[in-house]
Amino acid sequence: MVVDRFSDQIVKNPKLLKNPALAAWNKSGQLPSLKFMRTLWLCEQAGGPFQYTGKELGQAHKDLHILPEEFDEVGAEIARALDHFNVPEREKGEVLAAIVARKAEVVGQPA
Query: With contact defined as beta carbons under 8 Å apart, do 103 and 71 qualify?
Result: yes
Whether 72 maps to a domain, the answer reads yes
Domain of residue 47, CATH code: 1.10.490.10
Whether 93 maps to a domain, the answer reads yes
pLDDT tens by residue, 80-97: 999 999 999 999 999 999
Domain that holds residue 99: 2-106
Q: Distance between CA atoms of 90 and 76, rounded to whole angstroms?
A: 16
Q: Distance between CA atoms of 80 and 39, rounded to whole angstroms?
A: 17
Whether 31 maps to a domain, the answer reads yes
Torsion-angle region of 13 (φ positive above 0: left; ψ -120 to 50: alpha; else: beta): beta
Whether 27 maps to a domain, the answer reads yes
Q: What pTM was estimated for this model as a whole? A: 0.89
Whether 9 maps to a domain, the answer reads yes
pLDDT tens by residue, 21-57: 999 998 899 999 999 999 999 888 888 888 888 888 8
* Distance set, CA 40 to CA 1, 27, 50, 95 (Å): 13, 23, 6, 13
Whether 111 maps to a domain, the answer reads no
Domains held by the chain: number: 1
Specify the pLDDT at position 44.
87
* Distance set, CA 67 to CA 24, 52, 84, 85 (Å): 16, 24, 26, 28
